[in-house]
Structure 1
Amino acid sequence: MIFLENNEIELFFDSGTGALTGLRNKLTGWQVIRQPKLAGGLRMLVPIERHRNNRVLPEKQALTSAERIDGNALRLTWEGLMGDKSGILDIDAELTIRLAGDAVSFDLMLRNGSPYRIEEVWMPYLGGLREPRGGNPLRSLSVTMVGGFKEVELGPNMTNQIGYWGSDYPGFLTTSPDNGSILPFVLLQAESEGIYIGQHSNHPSVVSFLHEFKPGYADSLHNRIADSDEIGGKPAGFTVSAIRLPFVEAGETVTLPPMVLRMYAGSWHEGIQTYASWRSSDAEQYLRPSWVSGIDAWMTLHVDSPEGCDRYTLDDIITVAREAKVNGVGVLQLIGWTRGGQDGDEPYQDVNPLLGSHEQFREMIRVIEQDVGIRVLLMCKFKWADRTTLGFREELQPLTMKDMYGDDVYFQGYAYQTVVQQLNGAGRRTGAMLCHSSASLRDIAKREFAKILELGSSGMLYDELTSDDRLLCFSGAHGHRYGACNSAGSVELAREFRAMAIEANPQYLMAGEGPNDYLTPFYGVNYVRTNDGWSGWEKSHTPAWKFMDPDMMMATCLTGWDDREMVHQCIAYGYVLNYEPYNFKGRLSDIPDTVAYGQAANELRRSLREYLWEGIFRDTIGLQIERLQGEGELLSTVFVHRGNGKRAIVLGNQSKEYLRVRVGLDAVNDGEPCRTFDRYMLQQAGGAESNGVETLSPRTFMVLVER
C-alpha cells in the first residue's frame, strides 16, 4: 500500500495497480471510498482495428514505480499500459499527485509510442465512494447556463440518464462546456461537507464527469440502489470519474491540464469558492461599456419568425420603444430582425426585407437610441447554419462541424407557432453546427458581424453561445487537430469580434445567452431564463454563478401577467429585469401589473444602489433567519457595500400567506452580531428602524440595511 497524507487529507494507493483505494477527510473523518474493491485508477480508451472499445482498465495495469517527490507529493509511473483487447501498448503514463491543504492535484503526462490514438483519459477515477455514514445521499451539482445548479442525487432512487442500452450500470454524465455545465467542475455535496473536482485550465477543452452505481439497481422497479457495500456477492458503491478527450496521436507526448480535488467543510458556497479563487487569479476583464451599469430593466421584442409572422413594422417598433422608455426600460432587444426571421437563414445577418432596407432599419435604430433614448441590442447567432438557407451548400457546408465519419453535425432546430413546424421532420428548419476552430468560418462570421456593426446599435446579443453538447469537430480540412473543442474556436471568434466592436464603437456591448466560463469576459451580460421548468436542471433557481462572481451581470425574463415573484428574484439576486410579454412577442402595455410592480421595485433598488446593484452579492452567507409565523416560500439574500462594508438583506415573500421572521447577521471579525436595521419598503420614503422582527405581507419584499 502506498499512502500520501497531510494534516487534512489521507490517500491510499494500491502498490500493484496504482488504484486509489482510500480517500479520507482527516478533519471530519469522512472515508469517501467505502468499498475499496471498486477502487479506480488510470483508465483510457485506445481504439484499435475492429475494437473501438479497447479499454485500458485500472485493475489490469502494473505500476512501474512510485516515487515520493517530497512530503506532499507522489509520482506514479506506468510503462506499457495494458488494453483489454489489444494487450500491451507502447504507452507510458506519469501521474504526479500533490497535496496542498485540503486539496489534491492530479497532473498526468502521456507518451504515446503506439500506432493508435488515445481518445479518453479517466483521472481522477474515484471508485466505491459513498456519503458520510448515517448521512443523506450526496448531491452532484454543476453550474448551468442560467447560473444555477443542475442537481442529481446519488441515491437512493437514481434514474439512469445514459440509457440502459448505452451503459452497464445506472448513471449520468455531466459534460463541460455545455448548457448543463458551463464551468468545468462538479461538487459532490453532503449535508455539511463536500468534494470539489475540477479542471483548472485557461484554455477550453472538454471534461466529463461520469457518475455510476455498481453493480446495478437492487430494485429496478423503483430505481433503488443498494444501501450496503455489497449485494449479490458483488461490491457495491458509486464511481465518479473525470474524463478528458485529448485525442493523443501516435508519437505525441501530452500533459493534460491539472485536475483538482478538494475536500471542503460547509455548503456549496465553500465548494464553489475553490474554482472562484483559482479563476480570479488569471481572469480576463469583462468587455462591458460604462453605460451598461446604469440600466436595470430591458425589454425583448420578437419581430419575425421563420414562418413569416411579420409582427411589427419599423414604426411599430419605435412605438414599442417609446412605451418601454416611459416604463423605466433602458434596453430594447430585437429578435428576428434578420432575413428569414428568428433562427431562419442563420448565420447571415442581412436586414429582414419584410421590415425594409438596411438604411431604413439603421434610421429606426437612430430614432430609438437618440430621440426615444433607449439602447438597442440586436440578437444574432453564429453557432449553427440553417440548412435551408441560400448559400448553405456552397459556402457553409464545407465549414460545418464534422463527426468521426465525416458527416455534418446536425441538431433538430426550432419550431414557431405552426403545428407543421412543431412536428419533427415536417416543416422545421434543421441546423448544422459551424466549426469555430476553422479560420475560414470565422472570416465569414466576421463579415456578417460587420453588417450588424454598420447598423449603429449600442450592442448585440449572441444567442446560444454554449455548444449544447455538440462540442468536437473531426474534420481534416479545417486546419485544426482531430477532435478539436469548438469552444476554443468560439473564444478566438470572441476575441476577433471584440477587436471589431472596439474599433467601431468603444462603448459597444457584446452580450450573450449562457456564455461558458471562457466566453464571459467577452460577452459582458448573460441573458437567461431563471424560471424555466423545461430544462429539468433545478426545482428552484440557485444563484450559484452570481455568488461565485458578483461582477457577473445577468438579465432574466419576466413573462407573467402579475410576475411579482420574478421581480423579487431579480432584486434579491441583482439581476436585470427583462420584460417578455407573450414570450417576447408582445408590448409592455400587455402586462401592466408586472411592469408597474417591476418599476416600483427598481425605484427602491436604485435608492439603495450601492448595496443592491453595486454591492457584493453573498447569497445567504452570514444571514440568520428564524421563522415565527407561516410556512410559505421565503427568498432571502445578503449584499455587502463595497465601501463601508455594511450589509443589506433582501426578504421576499414568494407565497400568498403572511410570513413573520426574526432576522440577524453574523458578526464580522470580532464584532457583535447585527440585530438592528433600517427597513425599506415599496412606496415608502426613507427607512424606518427595525429590530429584525418583521412581518411580510403576501407577495411583497423589503430590504433591511444594518445600522
Structure 2
Amino acid sequence: MNYRLENDYIAVEFDPETGALVGLLNKQNDWQVIRQPKLAMGIRLTVPMPEHRNNRVLSERQSLSSYGQLGSNKVKLKWDQVEGDKSGVLAIKVELTVSLEADQVHFELEIDNQSPFIVEEAWAPCLGGLREQKGEAHLSSMSMTMCGGFREVSHGPSFPNQLGYWGTDHPSFLMTYPESSVLTPFILMTNGVNGIYLGQHDQAQNIVNFLHELKPGYGDSKHGRVMEEDEIDGIPAGYVVSAIRLPFIQPGESMTLAPMVIRLYEGTWHEGLKTYMDWRKTWHVHEPLPAWAEEIDCWMTLHINSPEGCCQNSYLELVDIAREAKERGVGAIQLIGWARGGQDGDEPFQDINPQLGTWEDLQSAIQQIEQLGVRIYLMCKFKWADRTTPEYKAEIEQHTMKDMYGDPVYFQGYAYQTITQQLGGGSRRTGAMLCHLSSDYRKLALRELQKLLDLGSSGLLYDELTSDERLLCFDPTHNHRYGENNVKGSTLLAEEIHKAAKAHNPEFLLAGEGSNDHLTQYYPINYVRSTDKWAGWEINHRAAWKFMDPAMKIATCLTGWDDREMVNQCMAYGYIINYEPYHFKGRLTDYPRTVEYGQQAQQLRNRLKEYIWHGTFQDTMGATVAGANPQQELVYSVFINSANGKRAVVLANQSLEVLEAQVTLANSEASFQLYRVGQDESESSEGYAVVQPRSLIVLIEA
C-alpha cells in the first residue's frame, strides 16, 4: 500500500519501495495529475566519475530506507545510500521533506555526500506520468521571459524536441532559470482550466532547470505527434517534468537545497502567477523611480555607431535630433553606440569614440539636450568582453568565466550591417563572458561606469542584464563555489552600480534590458520587445510581468511605419512608447504615421493618466468583454485609480474590421464615460462600444 499524505486540498502518494511520487491529486476537482504511475519518479542524482560523467542515480534503482511522519501535514523520506548505474552503491544520504500548506506541496531536499565524487545534479520533485484530465485540452508549459510575457510550449497534440534527438533518449525541452526565456524561478503548466505551479522559492538565485520529456517517444515523428494512450505496446507513456538543480556538492559536504513548491489551481495563468506573487512580497523591494522619470511615457532609441564603424551621427548632431524628438512628444532618448567600438564593440570599456567627436562634444550635447527637456540614457553593458580589444589578454581575460576545463566561456558576439559579420566569421567581434562574482572584475566595471557618469546624463540603460544561457563559472581564483551561478554576481554588481550612481546623482536613473526579478529591485524600468512571435517564444504577447508588478515601468519598441497596433498595446498595458525607426537607426520624421498616432495616444493617456498611467494594472481581471467576433484581435485591460478606486477599461481593436463589444465590470452595473484616441469629446456609455479598426477606446467607470 502506498504512503499517503493529504489535507482538504491535496493528496500525495509515495511508493513504499522506491519513494517515487505515484499520486498527486487535486481534491477540489478530482484531477489526478500522475495519470501514468508506472512513470513515477522519486529522487535522481548525477554523480560523475572518471570516464563516466553520466553516472546516473536513477529513481527506480533506489530503496527507500524510511518514511517518517513529522506532523499531520509533513513527512520525511530517507535514502541512507544510493546506487549509481555505473558506480554501484555510493555513500550519499538523501532526505526529502514533504509538507502540505493549504493547496501547496513543499519539497525540501538534503544531501550528505560522503562519496569520493561530486554530486552535480539533483532531481526532485519529478512529476512522472503527468497528464491533463482526460477530455480536457492539452497542457502548455509557460515561463516568464525578458520581453515581459510568457514563453509557451504545448504538450500536445505535437511536442518539441528542443534538445536534439542525438543527445537525449526521448523528445525533450528544457526551461532554465535564470536564462532570458525563464527570468523567474517557476513554470506554469496550464490549459486555462486547470494548472500546476512548479517553482523554487529561493532568494539566493540558484539555478533550477525544468526538464520536460515525452516517454517513450512520438507516435508519429514526422509531425512530432503525441500518443493519447497511457501505454504503447506494453510500454508506459506520458510526460515527465523534473525540477533539476546543479548544487556541485563536494565530497564530505552536506547541503540543503531551497524549497520547491507545487500548487494545483483552477483558472487562467493569472491565478497561477499569484503563487509566486505572494512569495515575492516577502523579499522584493522596489527602488523608487526618480520623480522626473514617473511622467515620461515616450522614448526614442538611437544607435549612432556599430562595431563596423558606420559613424551614423556625430555627438554634436544629436542636439538637432533631440529637438525634433521633443516636438513629437519624446521625453527621453536611449543613446546606443556612443562609446568606443560602437554597439557591442570594445566591451566593457566606456571611453568616447574620437570618430564621433571629443569628450567635451558629447558632454556638451548631453547638456544641451537635457536643457531642452529631453533626458539622455547612455546604453552600456558589463557582462562580456570583446576579445579583439588590445586590453583583453592583459586586463580582461583573467576575469572571464571559465568552464570545467579552465577555458574562457566564449560566445560568437553580434553582427551589424556587413555580410562578413553576419556570416559569423570574418569581422565579428567574438566575446568572452565576464564573471560578476569576481570582486576584482566588479572594481574594473565600476571604474568604467565612472566614465559614463562623468558625462552628465540623467541615466543609463544596461543592455542584456540576464539574456544569456552561459550561467556557470568554475574558476576557483574568483572566490566562489565551483560551478556557481554568475547571475548572483550580477546582483552584487547591480548593488554596487546603484550605490555609485546615487552617490554621483541621487536622481540618476538605472534602466535595464530583460532584468530578472532580483535585478528589478535596482533597475525600475525594463526595456523589452513585446511584438508577437519575438524569439519564437509566444504567439500573442501577454503583459505577465506588468500584472505581477504593476509598479514596474516597461518600455517597448515600435519599428513599424504605421505601427498603430504597438501603440495600442502600449496604451492597453501601460507601457512606455519607444520609437525605433530603421531598427533604432533613424529619426522620428522617418515614420510620421506611427508618430502621429502615438502622439494622439499620448494625449489621451495624459488626459486619463490617474487611471491608465498611474493606476494599478490588472490585465483582464475585473472586466469581461462580450460580443466581439472571434476572428478579430481584441486586446483589453483594466486599471484601478488608486485615489478613488474606480476602474478604467482600455479596449483595443487590432483588426481591420469594426469591433462591437459589451464591457461589464465584475460585481458592478456601472455606467461609463467613453474616450477615443484623437477625439476631444467624450460620451456616456452603458458598456456598449464600437471601436474602429486599428484603434482603441477607454471606458472610465462613472
TM class by smaller structure: over 0.9
**Are 2:695 and 1:700 equivalent residues in the alignment?**
yes
Report the residue type matching 2:155 in the other structure.
L
Q: Distance in 2 between matches of 1:426 and 1:41?
A: 50
Q: Distance in 2 between matches of 1:631 and 1:414?
A: 39
In structure 2, stretches of 5+ residues that fail to align are: none
Partner of 2:653: 653
**Are 2:60 and 1:59 equivalent residues in the alignment?**
yes
Q: Distance in 1 between matches of 2:192 and 2:230?
A: 21
* Pair 138,532 (structure 1): closer, same or farther in 2 beyond 3 Å: closer
Q: Distance in 1 between matches of 2:556 and 2:617?
A: 17
Partner of 1:618: 618
* Secondary structure of the structure 2 residue equivalent to 1:356: coil
Q: Is the 8 A contact 2:319 2:365 kept in 1?
A: yes
Alignment map for 1:39-118 (pairs within 5 Å) = 39-118=40-119
Paired residues in the alignment total 701
Partner of 2:489: 489
Q: Is the 8 A contact 2:382 2:445 kept in 1?
A: yes
**Are 2:30 and 1:29 equivalent residues in the alignment?**
yes
Q: Distance in 2 between matches of 1:631 and 1:126?
A: 37
How far has the Cα of 1:518 moved from its partner? 1.3
Q: Distance in 2 between matches of 1:647 and 1:189?
A: 28
How far has the Cα of 1:467 moved from its partner? 4.3
**Are 2:676 and 1:681 equivalent residues in the alignment?**
yes
Partner of 2:340: 339
**Are 2:446 and 1:446 equivalent residues in the alignment?**
yes
Q: Distance in 2 between matches of 1:21 and 1:393?
A: 54
* Pair 628,269 (structure 1): closer, same or farther in 2 beyond 3 Å: closer
Q: Distance in 1 between matches of 2:413 and 2:646?
A: 49
Q: Is the 8 A contact 1:119 1:245 kept in 2?
A: yes
Q: Is the 8 A contact 2:659 2:691 kept in 1?
A: yes
* Secondary structure of the structure 1 residue equivalent to 2:212: strand
Partner of 1:376: 376
**Are 2:533 and 1:552 equivalent residues in the alignment?**
no
User: Which digits, 9 at most, give the CA deviation of each residue in 1:51-84, with x for residues without a partner?
Assistant: 1001111111111111111111111111111111
Q: Distance in 2 between matches of 1:190 and 1:558?
A: 31
Q: Distance in 2 between matches of 1:287 and 1:357?
A: 34
How far has the Cα of 1:630 moved from its partner? 7.5
**Are 2:579 and 1:579 equivalent residues in the alignment?**
yes
* Secondary structure of the structure 1 residue equivalent to 2:192: coil
Alignment map for 1:532-611 (pairs within 5 Å) = 533-611=533-611
User: Which digits, 9 at most, give the CA deviation of each residue in 1:164-209, with x for residues without a partner?
Assistant: 0110000100001011110010000023110000001111111110
User: Which digits, 9 at most, give the CA deviation of each residue in 1:413-464, with x for residues without a partner?
Assistant: 1111111111122221111100111111111111100111111100100001
* Secondary structure of the structure 2 residue equivalent to 1:397: helix
Q: Is the 8 A contact 2:316 2:361 kept in 1?
A: no
Report the residue type matching 1:139 in the other structure.
S
User: Which digits, 9 at most, give the CA deviation of each residue in 1:314-345, with x for residues without a partner?
Assistant: 23210000011111111011000000100000
Q: Is the 8 A contact 1:663 1:675 kept in 2?
A: no
User: Which digits, 9 at most, give the CA deviation of each residue in 1:202-257, with x for residues without a partner?
Assistant: 11111110000111111112111210110021000100000110111111111111
Partner of 1:298: 299
Q: Distance in 1 between matches of 2:192 and 2:558?
A: 33
Partner of 2:422: 422
* Pair 302,9 (structure 1): closer, same or farther in 2 beyond 3 Å: same
* Secondary structure of the structure 2 residue equivalent to 1:378: strand
User: Which digits, 9 at most, give the CA deviation of each residue in 1:352-390, with x for residues without a partner?
Assistant: 1112222221111111112x1110000000111111012
Partner of 1:670: none
Partner of 2:470: 470
* Pair 615,687 (structure 1): closer, same or farther in 2 beyond 3 Å: same
Report the residue type matching 1:307 in the other structure.
E
Q: Is the 8 A contact 1:467 1:487 kept in 2?
A: no
Q: Distance in 2 between matches of 1:315 and 1:355?
A: 8
How far has the Cα of 1:37 moved from its partner? 0.6
User: Which digits, 9 at most, give the CA deviation of each residue in 1:83-137, with x for residues without a partner?
Assistant: 1111111111111111011101101111111111111011111100101110111
Q: Distance in 1 between matches of 2:454 and 2:212?
A: 49
Q: Distance in 2 between matches of 1:28 and 1:589?
A: 57
TM, length-normalised to structure 2: 0.99
* Secondary structure of the structure 2 residue equivalent to 1:546: helix
* Secondary structure of the structure 2 residue equivalent to 1:598: helix
Q: Is the 8 A contact 1:20 1:40 kept in 2?
A: yes
Alignment map for 1:154-193 (pairs within 5 Å) = 154-193=155-194
How far has the Cα of 1:532 moved from its partner? 5.8
Partner of 1:261: 262
Q: Distance in 2 between matches of 1:164 and 1:684?
A: 57
Q: Is the 8 A contact 2:146 2:467 kept in 1?
A: no
Report the residue type matching 1:13 in the other structure.
F
* Pair 403,630 (structure 1): closer, same or farther in 2 beyond 3 Å: closer
Q: Is the 8 A contact 2:139 2:189 kept in 1?
A: yes
* Pair 628,298 (structure 1): closer, same or farther in 2 beyond 3 Å: closer
Instruction: Give me the CA root mean square deviation.
Output: 1.1
Runs of at least 4 residues off by over 4 Å? none
* Pair 625,287 (structure 1): closer, same or farther in 2 beyond 3 Å: closer
* Secondary structure of the structure 1 residue equivalent to 2:519: coil
Q: Distance in 2 between matches of 1:60 and 1:630?
A: 52
* Secondary structure of the structure 2 residue equivalent to 1:53: coil
How far has the Cα of 1:631 moved from its partner? 3.3
Q: Distance in 1 between matches of 2:534 and 2:428?
A: 20
Q: Is the 8 A contact 1:121 1:246 kept in 2?
A: yes
Partner of 1:14: 15
How far has the Cα of 1:686 moved from its partner? 4.9
Q: Distance in 2 between matches of 1:469 and 1:416?
A: 22
Q: Is the 8 A contact 1:287 1:509 kept in 2?
A: no
How far has the Cα of 1:692 moved from its partner? 1.1
* Secondary structure of the structure 1 residue equivalent to 2:329: coil
Q: Is the 8 A contact 1:177 1:466 kept in 2?
A: yes
Report the residue type matching 1:638 in the other structure.
V
Partner of 1:515: 515
In structure 1, stretches of 5+ residues that fail to align are: 668-672
Q: Distance in 2 between matches of 1:357 and 1:164?
A: 54
**Are 2:147 and 1:152 equivalent residues in the alignment?**
no
Q: Is the 8 A contact 1:34 1:130 kept in 2?
A: yes
Partner of 1:665: 665
Partner of 2:355: 354
Q: Distance in 1 between matches of 2:11 and 2:455?
A: 61
Partner of 1:307: 308
Q: Is the 8 A contact 1:382 1:445 kept in 2?
A: yes
Report the residue type matching 1:393 in the other structure.
K
Deviates more, 1:142-151 or 1:219-228: 219-228
Q: Is the 8 A contact 1:135 1:191 kept in 2?
A: no
